[in-house]
Structure 1
């Protein structure tokens, strides 16, 4: 099997499971609910997995400002002093979730998945062995503070492009789509 085709298929499957298994089945008015009184909401999980995919692809791999920078105002995070780091942590921040415009969140998710698919379609497999200057790109392109996000800088530094495709884009995304499906089920919205 062709590796590029496999990566495209894996990414399309991730999107298909997020949209078909969560987005299309959970009404927007329930996206901010925390099932069973705790854990993460659907809104947080969508923001979180898209922030990581966006940072990995747009900022670390492609050396550009994250798509989030152009979506933050529409998302309702324009005045948030923690705007640059919004959605990155595993633990939900209710002030961020409470500020989110859910229609804009859908637009940000679409833009993130579209950008990743376009990049994967043009991927040169030789690029997979490159080690990007992750700390510099996170600081200068995404305006992230290494002191505030030492865990992210530490976890992401020194890795090759293939690691970013395997973990932040695909593996991390699959983990949180599974979590979102579990939240959907605990909200009583399982189609089965």
Structure 2
């Protein structure tokens, strides 16, 4: 590897001009210092790309300008949350609970009669209409509605579900239970 074409002294000498340029871009002294530091770090890391005999200051200004506009594009997608109020409203449900809920649901589902389980899965999980499910199962519409209703009621009892707050976040579970049978909570295909 060849010797570096830029010395640390040359970079240090460019700092006042870089700082003035950064201030003209952002108008904030602390942010300008951060930009200068970032530009110098990038220049040092990529000094092998600098062509000896060309204008070092122009090269450093270009690096600083690119860093400023890249950071600006990134910040446009960020949400200002100085007091943390937005972050405090964000929650993530732990994955292990939903895994356990799904296991409980599968066990309870297997306790249903085969015709109720089939009806519930066709209407609740697959999102078929009662009419479509009745054709598939070879029964009349009223029988299909009755099977789904009884399956949901039995499943809710087996899982000890009394309110919507007792439900997990799994959309299949939500669609299968009577509390979730309102159209707003059904699984969309």
TM range (shorter): under 0.3
Structure (1 or 2) with the larger CA radius of gyration = 2
The two structures have a TM-score, normalised by structure 2, of: 0.26
Q: Which of structures 1 and 2 has the larger relative contact order (alpha carbons within 8 angstroms, sep 6+)?
A: 1
